[in-house]
Structure formats: C-alpha cells, structure tokens
Amino acid sequence: MRRGRAIGLLIAAVLFLALALQPQLFAPLLALLNDPGQQIIYDRQPLAMLVLWHVAVVAAAETAAVITAVALGILVTRNRGGDLMTLARTISNLGQTFPPIAVLAVTVPIVGFGFEPTFIALYAYGLLPVFENTVAGLRGLPPATLEAARGMGMSKPAILRQVELPLAAPVILAGIRISTIINIGTATIGSTVGAKGLGEVIIAGLQAGNQAFIAQGAILVALLAIIVDGAFRLFER
C-alpha cells in the first residue's frame, strides 16, 4: 500500500520535472492537440520559472494561512467559551465563501497587480480547512488522556506542546494538505491580475485557442497537486 503510493509519487515527480525542465520532449505528443503551424511549447517564460513562481506564491500564502489558522484553532479550544469560537469560525468561513476571484477584484485597487492580491486571495481561501481541522483535532482528543496529563501535573503549555498538538497533528496535517492542494489549483487565477505562475500558460492558451498551451499548463498544475498530496500523505503517518 505504502510502497505503491511511493512509486506513484515517484512517477508523478519524474513526469513533472521532465515537463517543467525539458518540455521539448513532449512536443510531439502535444502537437497532436494543435493545428499545424501553431506554436506548441509556451516560451514567453521558461516553464520551470513559472513553476517556481507558482510554488512560491502558494507556499507563502499557505504558510501565513497555517500560522493564522492553527493559532486561531488553539486559541478557541483553550476554554469552553463559545464566543471566540463563533467569531473565528465566521471569519474563516467568510474567507472560504468569498470567491478568490472576487477577493482579487477587491484587493487589486488597494495593493495593485501581481503577487500581493494573489497572496491575499490564497491566504483567505486557505484558512478554513486548516482552522476546522485544527479545532476538530484538538477537540477530538481522548478525554482520559487529557485528564491524565492534567492529573500528572503537566502545565497547560506542556500539555499543548507534548500531548495535544502531537496527538492532533495527523488531523491538522490533513487540513493543511487539503488547503494546499486547493490553493495550487486556485493560484492559476492569479495570472489574471499579473501574478507570475502556471495560470499564465493556461490563459495564454485560452486567448490564442492553443490547446497545447492549455494542456501543458493544466498538466503541470495537476501533477504539482498530486505530488504535494502524495508527499503530505507519506508524511502524515
């Protein structure tokens, strides 16, 4: 099972690197999608460069979202008070219900084009899964274990660090995984506001009616999501 997964991950990684670094290798295959004479490999930017930008914006937004959401999740589970919980839930829900494209529309006039509005949209979109899973993970701990920790004389910070977080980690990690792979896909819309990334290839393809562009952009995004998902799953156990 685990071995099968590792092999699948390896194949996806090899394909991904080949397509990003040596797209010419795939030219004969991609050519089947296009009319003769159309350009086959996107060349306004090297694909590898766009991959890096794509990864960078997702990683940055996701890191910020994870820090915020985990901190919020810890905060709201500290006491039984429900007010903070409702507030935090509303905020993170809002981030998720507000479509990222709308966030872009709102933020561009304020922060300008490029990296920043994309970062903000992905950050907002990534909060909810992490927050919900952090809360679920921390709430779902066996009460007897927590009572034992308290009864043994561990301090609250020690219980959080040594017992609660390690035990909730698999659930929290699953939230981060879901949030990240959603954002790998969502990040493509960043190209509509001039953020560098793989969305650029897809949009160029759409504008020029170039199926090969669309395919290479979409396949790179899909493979990236598959690889990240697989890597997280390997790590989660």
Residues in touch with another protein (CB under 8 A): 142, 144-155, 158, 163, 166-167
What gap in Å lies between CA 136 and CA 180, rounded to an integer? 18
CB of 151 to another protein, least distance (A): 4
CB of 158 to another protein, least distance (A): 8
The DSSP secondary-structure symbol of 163 reads I
Nearer to another protein, 81 or 142 (CB): 142
Nearer to another protein, 48 or 146 (CB): 146
| Torsion over CA: 80, 132, 121, 166 (sign) | positive
CB of 189 to another protein, least distance (A): 40
CB of 196 to another protein, least distance (A): 42
| ∠ CA 131-133-135, rounded to 5° | 70
Nearer to another protein, 130 or 149 (CB): 149
CB of 23 to another protein, least distance (A): 45
Q: Please, are residues 118 and 190 in contact by the beta-carbon 8 Å criterion?
A: yes
Nearer to another protein, 110 or 144 (CB): 144
Nearer to another protein, 112 or 166 (CB): 166
What gap in Å lies between CA 226 and CA 232, rounded to an integer? 10
Going through 22-64 in order, the beta strands assigned E by DSSP cover none
Beta carbons within 10 angstroms of residue 14's beta carbon: 11
